[in-house]
Structure 1
Amino acid sequence: MPYTTGKIAAVTGAGSGIGRALAMQLHSEGCALYLSDVDEAGLAETRAALSGSAAVDTRRVDVADKAAVDAWATAIGEREGRIDIVINNAGVGLSDRVDECRYEDVQWLMGINFWGVVHGTMAFLPLLGQSPQGHLVNISSIFGMIGVPTQSAYNAAKFAVRGYTEALRQEMEGSPVHVCCVHPGGIRTNIARRARSAASDLSPDERGQVFEQFARTSPESAAAQIIRAVEKRKKRLLIGGDAKFISIINRLFPVRYPALMPGLGKVGSALDKA
């Protein structure tokens, strides 16, 4: 029997990408689901793709809105009394040089990629504490370990998620709540298509095609690894050979890594042009 069978999970950003893949695998394993996304059409598509007997509840939630996240968690608590797995997955992209970036775009990204994680964490921690074995998974990125040109805002948010989650993990030692920080490498999702860029002169589809040249891991593979990390109570998860390689180079050469990985600059440059 899969570890997640009979458990209750909440997943943000479930309307596409890793979030949808997580929903599908968890549901196939008999896990009851509470799914949210700001994209109602995408969320409906995810719901329609699920088949099985486990309960599914969907709700439009903007994770940047603290009141909305709190209301979602409160509703789940009133209905279930606990939550076993929370995956703060929702995220967006922004590709611009610092000197060309719009201030409102940085605020938009930080509201979702960082504050969305904070809101989800704080809203659900009490419910996770009611589970015999609660699991909190926060999605950072390999860009939460290294800086990349034109990705300053995204880097800032993902570095922040990493630090926030690692501190929380230490605070939760000895409690029923297991905390994991996930660092995906390139995952084939729509994040580049939906990214903002003040300097962009390409269409969303062209932007996605550029990104997919560097994205080697499928959302389904990423989801499977995350779920197994929950089962094994891993504290940190690197997804993809690119993430593992970059992590090693960064540890060995914390200042020189840009010169040793010139391809990173190309990724940032490509996304910026996208």
Structure 2
Amino acid sequence: MRGTVAVVTGAGSGIGRALAVALTERGATVAISDVNSVGLAETAEATNAHAELLDVSDRSAVAAYATTIATHFGVVHQLYNNAGIADGAPSILDDDYGSFERVLGVNLWGVIHGTKEFLPHLIASGAGHVVNISSLNGYLAQAGLAAYCTSKFAVRGFTETLRSEMLRDGHPVDVTVVHPGGVKTNIALAALAAARARGETVTLEQEARTRTYTDTLLRMDPAKAAAIILDGVRAKKPRVLVGNDARAIDALVRLVPANYPRLANWWGKKMFATAPARERGQ
């Protein structure tokens, strides 16, 4: 990574912050962005990175940002489209369009905006690399996560198409899609906080499910996840699975593609059905 200029979106916390720190430690020059000014400032202090507030769902803002970064550094080698959010209702039937628009705006359009605006600079560098963060929900669909799964499946398809085009056209840009499993980030808590900020009612069941995710399922240290991702980038892997859970679920989906939704529902019922009762102390 030494001598490389790398751009990381969503760097105010979680995997994005860990990537910025690890890239800096490996000798890269880093530019970071986030919508959270406090988190962004903390990451900037830890990395001495170039930092700017950025909403990746805003196409014109991303276009201006890409120009600013390319002008400031003179070259851009790597782009980590990491910014992401969660949102949604128990079912598609209950969900509203606003939830889909919010999640797709950041998780999918943010990736598209970043890739489209930085790609000419990555090609011009002669040694570019696009790294798009999907999820294990980029190959595993789960009930109650319609908007999130839709966005992460789409990121996978977009990224694999991009790689095919870079190979076909002979552009000097490697492409990697990343599927993290349960990494200890604040994405679930942030989704609840955002819902409350919009004046939405947060149920006891939603709170319990979020606590289960945060305390039980999201366990990997973001620093470890970042190391796995960067090792994959260094090896120019087209696909990086982060965590034993991501690898196990990938194998399950490949083994029983028609039946895994039933298994996922069974697991979800077992994991979450008693959560509200536990919260009431029953």
TM-score normalised by structure 2 residue count? 0.88
Deviation at 1:258, TM superposition (A): 2.6
Q: What CA deviation, in whole Å up to 9, does each residue of 1:171-214 have, x standing for no partner?
A: 01132100000011111100000115666324998665321211
Q: Secondary structure at the match of 1:258?
A: helix
Task: Confirm or deny that 1:211 pairs with 2:208.
Answer: no
Q: Judge conservation of contact 2:208–2:275 (CA < 8 Å) in 1.
A: no
Contact 1:100 1:199 in 2 (8 A): no
- 151-160 or 128-137: which moved more? 128-137
The answer to which of 74-83 and 225-234 deviates more is 74-83
Which residue does 2:4 correspond to in 1?
A: 7
| Equivalent residues of 1:92, 1:112 under 8 A apart | yes
2:18 matches 1:21 = yes
Answer whether contact 1:113 1:158 (CA < 8 A) is retained: yes
In structure 1, C-alpha distance between the alignment counterparts of 2:75 and 2:230, rounded to whole Å: 19
Residues 87 and 103, structure 2, Cα contact 8 Å, conserved in 1: yes
1:181 alignment partner in structure 2: 177
CA drift at 1:151: 0.3
Give the counterpart letter for 2:92 in structure 1: V
- Structure 1 runs, 4 residues or longer, greater than 4 Å off: 196-199, 202-208, 264-274
CA contact under 8 A between 1:150 and 1:272: conserved in structure 2?
no
Tell me which residue corresponds to 1:114: 108
CA positional deviation for 1:133: 1.4
1:171 aligns to 2:174 (yes or no): no
Q: What is the Cα deviation at residue 98 of structure 1? A: 1.1
Match of 1:263 among 255, 263, 267: 267
Instruction: Return 5+ residue gaps in structure 1 as ranges.
Output: none
Match of 1:223, SS? helix
| AA of the residue aligned to 1:167 | T
CA spacing shift, 1:9–1:257, aligned 2, 3 Å: same
* Secondary structure of the corresponding residue to residue 193 of structure 1: helix
Q: Does 1:138 align with 2:132?
A: yes
Name the SS for the 2:7 alignment partner: strand
The number of equivalent residue pairs is: 267
Identical columns (%): 42
Note the C-alpha offset of 1:260: 3.4
Residue 202 of structure 2 aligns with which residue?
200
- Mean alpha-carbon deviation: is it higher for 203-212 or for 4-13? 203-212
Aligned partners of 1:268, 1:58: CA distance in 2, in Å? 39
Q: What secondary structure does 1:108 align onto?
A: helix
What is the aligned partner in structure 1 of residue 75 from structure 2? 82
Higher helix share: 2
Alignment check: 8 A CA contact 1:63 1:90 kept: yes
Query: Residue in 1 aligned with 2:227?
Result: 224
Give the 3-state SS of the residue equivalent to 1:36 in structure 2.
strand
Distance in structure 1 (CA, Å) of the matches to 2:273 and 2:42: 33
Q: 1:225-256 deviations in whole A, cap 9, x for unaligned?
A: 11111100000011111111111110111110
Deviation at 1:216, TM superposition (A): 2.9
CA distance in 1, matches of 2:78, 2:274: 36
Q: Does the residue aligned with 1:76 lie in a helix, a strand or coil? A: helix
The CA distance in 1 between the partners of 2:248 and 2:213, in whole Å, is 19
Q: Is the 8 A contact 2:208 2:276 kept in 1?
A: no
In 2, are the aligned partners of 1:210 and 1:270 still within 8 Å (CA)? no
